């Protein structure tokens, strides 16, 4: 283990959505560095058995229950030095052709409950005057995806929360990382809910582009390496990660490009403009 291993600075971590995809890659990265991980899934049986890994069943739909589960794990761990709020899912469909309760459920689970877990985590970190809170947002916070309005709302809200917390935690020994991944080769696309049969040609083109981009993205370990570097820097930051266009070009476009230009590029990106 190198002298710069995370375990020289962080002992314990809590990772939501640790059974697959980015969450599993984050957990693997932390375990490889000697950090003990409490990882969650809705069904704990889906989580791995490994030295240093503690499986936790957690349901985001039950905000109060999720907070209680976190606090119990925190007590067992003796406090968490890293908390990574990663769990979530996608919903694909027209805003008005999808029942509003579908959007409401997604926003409550992924934004409200994540904010609740952040609130609980920060209280412990601030009391100990150390720790890293990582809320996994998305490049969708800057470049919203067509026909995934609930997801866009959630990720924009999380990034706004992260920005607020960066100011509030200055000088406390606690850092906030707004982690914004782009397309990664995970099972996310396969788990996206599609409540209604898609017959609209525009939606079909967007779905085909979305599936193609996910299938051709970097592997999750690439995102984990980016997060590791951010944790080692020990400062609050926004981390954009993904294929070169997303990680390098998109920040420049977000900073210097007009809204009209960004909309045109997104339309082309998702097959809405030829």
Digit-coded pLDDT (tens) for 26-69: 999 999 999 999 999 999 999 989 999 999 999 999 999 999 99
Digit-coded pLDDT (tens) for 164-212: 999 999 999 999 999 999 989 887 766 788 877 667 888 888 888 888 8
What are the strands of the beta sheet with 36-41, ordered from one edge?
Answer: 53-57, 36-41, 12-15, 82-85, 131-136, 174-181, 237-241
What pLDDT score does 1 carry?
44
Q: Where are the domains of the chain?
A: 6-269
| pTM metric for this prediction | 0.92
The Cα 38–Cα 144 span in angstroms is: 31
Digit-coded pLDDT (tens) for 231-247: 999 999 999 999 887 77
The Cα 243–Cα 182 span in angstroms is: 7
Q: Is 5 exposed, middle or buried (0-12, 13-18, 19+ CB in 10 A)?
A: middle
CATH superfamily of domain region 6-269? NAD(P)-binding Rossmann-like Domain (3.40.50.720)
Q: In the chain, what percentage of residues exceed pLDDT 70?
A: 97
């Amino acid at each position: 283990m190198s002298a710069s291993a995370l375990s020289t600075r962080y002992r314990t971590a809590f990772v939501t959505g640790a059974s697959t995809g980015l969450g599993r890659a984050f957990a693997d990265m932390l375990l490889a560095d000697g950090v003990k991980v409490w990882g969650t899934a809705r069904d704990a049986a889906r989580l791995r058995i490994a030295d240093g890994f503690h499986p936790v069943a957690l349901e985001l739909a039950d905000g109060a229950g999720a907070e209680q589960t976190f606090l119990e794990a925190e007590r067992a761990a003796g406090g968490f030095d890293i908390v990574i709020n990663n769990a979530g899912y996608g919903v694909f469909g027209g805003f008005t052709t999808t029942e509003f309760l579908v959007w409401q459920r997604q926003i409550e689970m992924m934004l409200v409950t994540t904010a609740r877990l952040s609130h609980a985590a920060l209280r412990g970190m601030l009391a100990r005057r150390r720790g890293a809170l990582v809320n996994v947002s998305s490049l969708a916070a800057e470049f919203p995806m067509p026909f995934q309005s609930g997801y866009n709302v959630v990720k924009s809200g999380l990034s706004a929360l992260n920005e607020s917390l960066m100011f509030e935690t200055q000088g406390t020994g606690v850092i906030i990382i707004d982690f914004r991944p782009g397309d990664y080769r995970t099972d996310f696309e396969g788990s996206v809910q599609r409540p209604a049969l898609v017959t609209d040609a525009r939606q079909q083109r967007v779905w085909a582009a979305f599936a193609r981009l996910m299938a051709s993205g970097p592997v999750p370990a690439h995102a984990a390496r980016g997060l590791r570097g951010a944790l080692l820097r020990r400062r609050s930051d926004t981390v954009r990660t993904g294929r070169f266009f997303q990680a390098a070009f998109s920040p420049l476009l977000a900073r210097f490009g007009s809204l009209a230009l960004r909309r045109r590029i997104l339309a082309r990106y998702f097959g809405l403009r030829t």
